[in-house]
Structure 1
């Protein structure tokens, strides 16, 4: 399995370290000012893509290998993040992890969430507002009891979720688009969440 870490514009996870750090076998792709974010976390970038209208330090592009900076016109039909996702797929990556995208414009935020409705979608997304996990089968988590969590169905198919260890279990639910389960709580520190059919995103927001 070949992973791609996509660093995008906007605020990354709170703190000096990442929940997941790229290894030497992972591909790191920066979308526009995502290269600023990657460098701030001490991550070396393999490719940079986008129109670079929001990058703070353009000299960072000079540190990449020839042909590894792909510049697009500002008037385009895709966001810089979409371009990075497409580039990762073209490079043969089969797992996407997105870093950044917190704060900023609400339309940019909604565009990022819309990526989870697609057939080829990020598996995890870490930003200043919290963490987002794509649930396609079953995932196990370890969090303090009382942690607030939320779930939203994604994709074209209706979602039949289940859980073991939440305050309000999900087993009796059947979610169409527009449904959601917000402000649930962790009841057992080690818990499981999954789907019988469909997909959903599991969100662990940062406490205000």
Structure 2
């Protein structure tokens, strides 16, 4: 399994979590200017991906001398996170973890969630208080501590939604975009969520 860690150019979660994700990763990708945050934090990066419009103190030549492979992509139809996710797929990623997407523009953070639906690779966004993932026409089992909150939100109409392992179960329900799935409670250390037709965004509290 190839595990990739993508680091965005916004605030990082607490350092212990960052270190755990680094230790469990085979490759680390920085999104554009995030590479300078990584250098300042002594995080070793394998690739930097983006249009390179956010670099302030480091040149591409300097990055290359450090052994960081530069993937300059000028595609304006995708943000730097989507470019990094696409590149992760190209290098054979089986799982993608993402940090560094919170604390900046709300528009950028919202766009980050949509990026989860643009890949078939198992993908997780790690926020300071939760982990965000998606379910698309399928079934997932997710680890969680007992009594921790989790929420599911329909992205469009979703048919055949099932939730087990929570205080409030769903059985072959239809969900529409609303707040119905907010703040369920885990009764077990695993929750199972499925959707026959549609897409769900899942938040698990840490």
Q: What range describes the TM-score normalised by the shorter chain of this pair? A: 0.7 to 0.9
1:2 — aligned with what? 2
Name 2:47's counterpart in structure 1.
47
Please say if residues 46 and 64 of structure 1, whose CA atoms lie closer than 8 Å, have aligned partners that are also in contact: no
What is the match of residue 18 of structure 2?
A: 18
Conserved 8 A contact 1:98-1:122: no
Distance 1:193 1:83 in 2: 30
| Structure-2 residue corresponding to 1:142 | 144
Show the counterpart of 1:70.
71
Q: How many residues align?
A: 201
Structure 1 98/76 Cα, relative in aligned 2: closer, same or farther at 3 Å?
Answer: same
Say whether the 8 Å CA contact 2:140–2:193 is kept in structure 1.
yes
Cα RMSD after superposing both structures: 3.2
- Between Structure 1 and Structure 2, which shows a larger proportion of helix residues? 2
Counterpart for residue 166 of structure 2: 166
Distance 1:103 1:164 in 2: 32
Query: What is the TM-score of this pair, normalised by structure 1?
Result: 0.77
Matches of residues 9-158 of structure 1 in structure 2 within 5 Å?
9-18=9-18, 20-23=20-23, 26-39=26-39, 43-55=43-55, 57-58=57-58, 61-62=63-64, 64-65=66-67, 68-73=69-74, 76-120=76-120, 123-135=123-135, 136-145=138-147, 147-154=148-155, 158=158
Structure-2 separation of matches of 1:164 and 1:42: 41
Which consecutive unaligned segments of at least 5 residues does structure 1 have? none
TM-fit CA distance, 1:160 = 2.7
TM-score normalised per structure 2: 0.77
In 1, the alpha carbon distance for the partners of 2:141 and 2:205 equals 17
* C-alpha distance in 1 between matches for 2:188 and 2:55: 40
The 8 Å contact of residues 100 and 128 in structure 1, kept in 2 or not, is answered as: no
CA distance in 1, matches of 2:12, 2:46: 19
How far residue 42 of structure 1 moved from its aligned partner, in angstroms, is: 5.0
Describe the superposition over 1:36-77 as per-residue Cα deviations: whole angstroms up to 9, x where unpaired: 4545665421110123333465277355427x112345x833
Assess, with a 3 A threshold, how the Cα gap between structure 1 residues 175 and 38 changes in structure 2: closer, same or farther: farther
In the other structure, the counterpart of 2:185 is 186
- How far apart are the structure 2 equivalents of 1:180 and 1:174? 13
Distance across 2 between alignment mates of 1:159 and 1:40:
47
Q: Specify the SS of the correspondent of 1:193.
A: strand
2:175 aligns with 175
The Cα shift of 1:23 comes to 4.9
CA shift, 1:89, in A, is: 1.9
**Secondary structure in 1 aligned to 2:84?**
helix
